[in-house]
Amino acid sequence: MRSPALDTYFAYTANLGTHTFFMIFLPIQFWCGYTSLGRATVFMLAAGIYWSGFLKDMLCLPRPLSPPLARISMSGSAALEYGFPSSHSTNAVSVTFYAIYMLRQSDEYSPTVNIGLQALFYLYAVSIIVGRLYCGMHGFLDVLVGSTLGALITVFQLVFSDWIDSWIFSGTYKDLIIATLVIFVLVRIHPEPADDCPCFDDSVAFSGVVVGINIGAWHYAQSGFAINDIYPSTVPFELSQIGLPKAIVRTLLGVVVIFVWRATAKPTLFKILPPLFRLLERGRMNLPRAFFLNASSYTSIPNMRDDDNVIPPASQLPQMLKNLAHPRKRSVSVGPQSASDAYETLAYRNRRRRESVNSSDGTVLEDLEWSSTPPSQAVTPAVEKAQPLLGAGILPTPMASRIHLYEQMMGTGNIKGYDGKMDTPPDNDTDLTGEASLKSEEENEKREIFMKLTKPRVRYDVEVVTKLIIYSGIGWFAVGLDPIIFELVGLVSAYDKKYLGVAPKHQKGNDEEPDLPSNMIDEEEPPHSPVTDKELEEAHYRARQQDASYSSVELLQCFFDLFPPDTPVRIRHKPSDKPAGTFSYITTISDRTGAKDMLLYPKVSTAVVIDNPAIKNNF
């Protein structure tokens, strides 16, 4: 079934399900004004990475045995993780299901384009899931459970996202602190694996991103630069208004800011945090974790390479691009790559020993044709003087030769010094020389296999907090600070006319009819309740805070009277029975069109004053 074309295709598409791919393209969603989609994607990916990593480190189930499988990967760290469940499948399914749901709820595209986009997302998910099986990285149960987990995360996002966003944006900073503490608790209770596994690092990174985008979005929504009526903290952006050159420049600037933050924050934290951790350790307030070196055991942290599986340092980007440009840079490996793989190989050899002993005792059928492998052809010391290969002679070529090859690569588990002719056990324990020889052989095999593995680097306790701070900063910069920088350096249009643009100005006739809301509509006024003094006071305050929502004639009259006639105002209508029918435009207080629409649809309309002097001047 394997072919060079399929090898290349699935190796490349696997990159579309990695953490690095999503972390690179997530900020662009925010910078282009797709805040709702960006936040949903971040939350789903963070949940997928955390809970799939949680299960991996709790269950410690290895990847499919290699050999006989050959693993195809362009990632050096993927094979170091456990296999169950598949995080690639979790991410692919959650993103695909959410995107398809949103496409089916939207009438923004023509039916043909809509169906085409859905087909692309289906192809994306299928390519990722089938690719994990084809590349030998996962088994059927791994991708099945991973896909189910991704679907559950999508359902959770669709059901609870509005409530969570409302809690974050409408609450005070105390609610933000509570949300941050919940994430820190989840990081702390992450299981410790049996072997050194990078799943925890990925979970910490994405947890930090969630903290960062919550803080950044809350801050940006309060800054006066954001659009808050359609979705809080939305970045003003319209490609037709800003132009492609400016859009590219602001994207590059945003990426540069993130890499500068990462490059400066990491060495700074590595100098500041170790002394603090030593103080906490003396007071027994530290939180030790397996495979991480305590601060009291080292004096300084050297420069480390390949210590980040999510966003690599800028110095490694050229090499990554070079690898992507050459299809043959993919790695096809056979044999143990991680500690869990090594233990699986040892377990296989022990099973072959038992089969060899049982066959000599007559518990396995002896009518099969046995083939012999000269010791000189063995590929490892562990298979030197190996027993004949079980059942290999009954297989036709070339399958028989492949079984021979796999047996040689895995080792047959021969007991050195044992001739296989012992019919009765010895009379006392002192004669168990075979058992001692067996233990010695097992130790040699274990040492031999683990020496072939890449030795894991030293990991320091401050790396956990450092990663949390750095990735929280990345989320904050991407959502809360980069958009403000874009405004300050002029990487915006004269005025970003969001969504459907500016409503046409009303052309007055010769009549000098006063511009009062009661004169702006011919139909009968919709029913409304009287407005109290407290409501009027609240209306005045909320209007000045740029988050006012009005649904009656009195409030609309008070709202319009608060501002000069040339004040920009954004009108939005969102029918509750048809979410896809939402439309929005920008006009002025003096324009009859906006007031008329507000009076026609009082229960589903929102009017927000754009009280930013810079925007007013450019309107």
Which residue's entry shows tokens 């690599």?
312
Range with the largest mean pLDDT of 270-279, 328-337, 535-544: 270-279
Query: When comparing pLDDT for 604 and 385, which is higher?
Result: 604
Range with the largest mean pLDDT of 195-199, 429-433, 490-494, 569-573: 195-199
Distance in angstroms (rounded) separating the CA atoms of residues 73 and 402: 22
Residue in 213, 240, 252, 253 with CA at minimum distance from that of residue 498: 240
Average pLDDT over residues 483-499: 68
pLDDT of 346 reads 67
- pLDDT band, residue 295 (cuts 50/70/90): confident
Contact by Cβ (8 Å): 420, 360: yes
Residue in 99, 287, 115, 105 with CA at minimum distance from that of residue 190: 287
Query: When comparing pLDDT for 514 and 82, which is higher?
Result: 82
At 103-161, the pLDDT tens digits run 988 877 888 999 999 999 999 999 999 988 888 888 899 999 999 999 999 999 999 98
Distance in angstroms (rounded) separating the CA atoms of residues 229 and 209: 24
Query: When comparing pLDDT for 227 and 380, which is higher?
Result: 227
Which residue's entry shows tokens 């990345």?
474
Contact by Cβ (8 Å): 573, 597: yes
Range with the largest mean pLDDT of 113-122, 163-172, 413-422, 489-498: 113-122
Q: What is the DSSP string of 346-376?
A: HHHHHHHHHHHHHHHTT-S---S--B---GG
Distance in angstroms (rounded) separating the CA atoms of residues 20 and 17: 9
Distance in angstroms (rounded) separating the CA atoms of residues 407 and 67: 9
| Helices 533-544 and 553-561, axial angle in degrees (round to 10) | 50
pLDDT of 393 reads 46
Distance of CA 522 to the CA centre of its chain: 53
Average pLDDT over residues 217-228: 83
Distance in angstroms (rounded) separating the CA atoms of residues 364 and 353: 13
Tokens of 278: 């030593």
Query: Is there a cis peptide before residue 318, judged by omega within 30 degrees of 0?
Result: no
Query: When comparing pLDDT for 556 and 230, which is higher?
Result: 230
Model confidence at 549: pLDDT above 50: no
- pLDDT band, residue 538 (cuts 50/70/90): low
Distance in angstroms (rounded) separating the CA atoms of residues 132 and 496: 43
Model confidence at 398: pLDDT above 60: no
Average pLDDT over residues 270-286: 84
Model confidence at 96: pLDDT above 90: yes
Tokens of 434: 């075979």
Q: Where are the alpha helices (DSSP H) in 171-198?
A: 173-188
Residue in 200, 11, 15, 199 with CA at minimum distance from that of residue 92: 15
Range with the largest mean pLDDT of 115-119, 263-267, 330-334, 491-495: 115-119
Residue in 246, 159, 171 with CA at minimum distance from that of residue 215: 171
At 328-361, the pLDDT tens digits run 455 565 556 666 666 666 666 667 666 666 665 5
Distances in Å between the alpha carbon of 456 and those of 301, 311, 338? Answer: 16, 19, 9
Distance in angstroms (rounded) separating the CA atoms of residues 449 and 342: 6
Query: When comparing pLDDT for 494 and 188, which is higher?
Result: 188
- pLDDT band, residue 297 (cuts 50/70/90): confident
Q: Which amino acid is at 342?
A: A
Least confident of 24-33, 129-138, 506-515, 546-555: 506-515
Distance in angstroms (rounded) separating the CA atoms of residues 76 and 534: 63
Specify the pTM. Answer: 0.65
Model confidence at 278: pLDDT above 50: yes
Least confident of 93-97, 161-165, 358-362, 495-499: 495-499
Residue in 208, 217, 218, 221 with CA at minimum distance from that of residue 180: 208
Distance in angstroms (rounded) separating the CA atoms of residues 145 and 132: 13
Share of residues in the chain with pLDDT > 90 (%) = 19
Model confidence at 433: pLDDT above 70: no
DSSP 8-state symbol, 83:
-
Query: On the CB side of 360, how many CA atoms lie within 13 Å of its CA?
Result: 16
Average pLDDT over residues 513-530: 46
Model confidence at 254: pLDDT above 50: yes
Which residue's entry shows tokens 């020389």?
433
Query: When comparing pLDDT for 521 and 113, which is higher?
Result: 113
| Helices 4-14 and 111-134, axial angle in degrees (round to 10) | 110
Contact by Cβ (8 Å): 469, 204: no
Contact by Cβ (8 Å): 387, 405: no
Range with the largest mean pLDDT of 270-274, 306-310, 434-438, 536-540: 270-274
- pLDDT band, residue 326 (cuts 50/70/90): low
Distance in angstroms (rounded) separating the CA atoms of residues 425 and 138: 43
Distances in Å between the alpha carbon of 425 and those of 3, 13, 421? Answer: 52, 57, 11
Which domains occur in the chain, in start order?
4-325+456-488 (no CATH), 339-452 (no CATH), 517-618 (3.30.950)
Distance in angstroms (rounded) separating the CA atoms of residues 323 and 281: 43
Distance in angstroms (rounded) separating the CA atoms of residues 172 and 120: 41
- pLDDT band, residue 548 (cuts 50/70/90): very low
pLDDT of 146 reads 94
Distances in Å between the alpha carbon of 394 and those of 265, 400, 414, 601? Answer: 63, 8, 21, 81
**φ and ψ of 371, to 5 deg:** -110, 155
Neighbours of 354 (CB within 10 A): 11
Distance in angstroms (rounded) separating the CA atoms of residues 409 and 611: 72
Q: Which amino acids are annotated catalytic?
A: 88, 138
DSSP 8-state symbol, 570:
E
Residue in 251, 449, 231 with CA at minimum distance from that of residue 337: 449
Query: Is there a cis peptide before residue 398, judged by omega within 30 degrees of 0?
Result: yes
DSSP 8-state symbol, 566:
T
Instruction: Specify the length of the chain in residues.
Output: 619
